[in-house]
Chains A and B, each alone.
Chain A
Amino acid sequence: MSVKRCMRSYLSQPSFPRQKNVFVKKENTRFQGGFYLPDAYPLQFCSIIEDISSDGTPEMFQFKVPDQKVAHIIVNLCPTEPWALPNWVILKHKTPSFLNMLKEIKTNYFPGAVLSLAINEGECRTVEDAKKFASNEDWMRVFPLYAKYPQDDPVLLLKVILGIEVSFGQDTKSLGVLILDAQTVSAIYESCILRNKVDSRLIVLSGTGLKENEIVNVQLGTSIEKILKNKVKETGKYRVFINGPLRGNEITDLSQKINWSVNNIVVLEEKNRKVMFPMIKSDELILTTNLLGELRRCVYCNYCDNICPVDLEPALYYHSYTRGEKHKARLYNLEKCIECGLCSFICPSKLELLHIIKECKALDKQHEKIT
């Protein structure tokens, strides 16, 4: 079924039929592949939150109600990356008051919308509280999800929660779906309901390049340099990434200012030297920029297609690419790739699969333009 048809039939229902037990079938909440990151990178955060103010006048958080009709709101309480903002920072272990905030936002701005909560199933208290709350509200549904990366990607969230397929990079607002994270919800509440000024956001600082993993409250417009001051280990080189080392970008210009789209800053040690006995000292290498192996040819090990969350076979792109047939990559469902980077992450031959995928996609775009 095409996305539009699907969506229309779904939109025509005024609200979801009430269910006593809002359980979704197990296989719905799961997908093949993916990777549970907290096992590999268990990060602990200091519970004190430091405030950092900007030098100039801070920017204000502004929420713009989308022009399109919002039929569905998805609140993502299932961060899958360990360097993302943990739920407890916003919920403060008081789920009902957070849900009341949501209720007010909904009644004031999106009266007809259905709201789905995607919650990390490991946080049992939150799930239970939310279920209790949802049993009295027929516009709210609760989806306990296994926090396997990249479950919180919009493509997979929409598939699990609404059962619709969207393509990567598609604007979900045009489908009438609004995806919010916990921090944005509380900012909307503060600014639109309580009419307070919101000019700061919580940012998670973590990584091997820092003295300590912590969460800071930063005024918008503060430079990254100022945030990291006195927090980076003095020894050795480091590299800075925003929004995580898997999907985020590297920042070389540290004078860049923080805006609302920055969720976290990860500072990694640049391990560009050899480490003795890597087998027993893997803690020195994990979560650094080291490649952890050497570049080789593909050995057809199937790791990449086992881990791919949307069931692609990334090695096929690599082979098209090395044979000089970049244009052929698109034949193998290339457009479905959500650029999660897990294939490059897992590849034992350390092939730059995501890079190849992006290059082939760019070629595809050019191709479309010409024809």
Chain B
Amino acid sequence: MKKLLKPVEPVLEKGLDTVGSFIHTHPKINFLFGALFGAFDGLLRSARETTHTQPFIRNNYDVKRFMGAVLVALVAGWVLPAMYFYGWQGVVSKLLVSFIIGIFVVDVIWAIIAREEHISEGGFVSCLFIPAILPPQAPLWLVGLGAALAIIFRNILGGVGNNLVNPALFSRLFLTICFPALLVTGYQTPFVGIPDLHTFRYGLDAVTHATPFTAFKTGGETTSYLSLLLGTANGSMGETCRLALILSGLWLIKMRVANWRIPASYLGSVLILSVFFSLILGRTVAPPLFQLLSGGLILGAFFMATDPITATYNQTAKWIFGAGCGLITVLIRNFTTLPEGVMYSILLMNLLAIPIQSLMVKIRYRV
């Protein structure tokens, strides 16, 4: 590998240097493409900075790998399965709309208004979430609006490293309030089998309006656990193939990008509470395993609640954070008319993370 790359190295190095110096001498171009170039350059080359204070050597692990790992896990966890179940064309077009509107339109306008030096690359992850949490048949403009809102919220709330709540979920909350009808319809039936040309592009034409959870609420019927796990039951575009989500979530935990305490406490508390309520209230409450596998719980627990910036820093507080998410999810799902509680629970706990964190610090250090 090294030998193969050896001849291209000088050419590439020179090219990158020229492009880099060109970008940095033209403020306008730097403004638009500086971050993009920086990200690309950072992928191909190491940093130039050296250490000046103790310790003089540093570990080979940086935030870029962090983000890269999240992107890889999301692609493996929902993009690829969704392409199979719903046809690649819908998925790709939605992703493109989300990225273009979110990053290249809204973020750029924001950067102009806020007079920032250049747009940051942190919006990629948020924009990758947007199509995942909308129904598969959601119109493209809805996806674009969602991405725009997510980026606006992210910037208003302080930008990368300073988010109060998960911007993607916040934008979905906004869409739920503004367009309630669009978010409970358009649940395309996932395709199963060997695809022909048509289904490969578009998926199946069948559309239902009921997710497994609404079906349970109205008729009391539960979907088979296997179909929930494999993704052949309908739901939002990115939440159906739970097996892939669990595997890539575990990979993230192994890479130490996601903190295991949050999924453990979130899923654990959902399980315990649903067992508890089932024992007391019987069949009016959804069965525990069905609760674990339905809706956006797996996606939320592994990918959204674990976003370190919106969770608490203290590790003990992470247990409380996860358990709180679980409690709210179970309560909303079973005792309100709302079809799904994951989004609300994570958003609410994001807000509560700050008091929980300061409370835990107070308890721990007695200040």
Contacts and interface: CB of A to CB of B under 8 A. Distances in A.
Q: Do A and B bind each other?
A: yes
A270 B49 CA distance: 10
Contacts of A270: 50
A290 B46 contact: yes
A278 B63 contact: no
B56 A250 contact: yes
B365 A291 contact: no
Contact of B308 (A40, A245, A300, A316): A300
A122 to B, nearest CB: 22
A341 B308 contact: no
A214 interface: no
A349 B59 CA distance: 11
A296 B367 CA distance: 29
A331 to B, nearest CB: 4
Interface stretch (B141-149, B270-278, B310-318, B329-337): B310-318
B328 interface: no
A285 B50 contact: no
B53 A291 contact: no
B348 interface: no
A345 interface: yes
B53 A292 contact: no
Contact of A313 (B12, B313, B367): B313
Interface string B65-105: 11000000000000000000000000000000000000000
B54 A355 contact: yes
B2 A281 contact: yes
Contacts of A250: 56
Contacts, number: 156
A294 B42 CA distance: 9
A302 B315 contact: yes
Interface residues of A, number: 61
A290 B59 CA distance: 10
A315 B313 contact: yes
B46 A289 contact: no
B259 interface: yes
Interface in B149-174: 160-162
B63 A276 contact: no
Contacts of B160: 297
Nearest to A282: B60
A239 B253 CA distance: 37
Contacts of A349: 62-63
Contact of B48 (A239, A273, A288): A273
Nearest to B308: A300
Nearest to A284: B46
Nearest to B257: A301
Interface in B32-49: 41-42, 44-49
Interface string B254-276: 00110100000000000000000
Nearest to A208: B57
Interface of A: 40, 239, 241, 245-250, 268, 270-278, 280-282, 285-303, 305, 313, 315-316, 331-333, 339, 341-342, 344-350, 352, 354-355
Interface of B: 1-2, 5, 9, 12-13, 41-42, 44-51, 53-66, 160-162, 256-257, 259, 308-309, 311, 313-315, 361, 365, 367
Given A292-B60, A301-B308, A348-B61, 11 more contacts: A272-B48, A272-B50, A273-B48, A276-B9, A276-B45, A278-B46, A290-B51, A299-B66, A332-B365, A348-B63, A350-B62
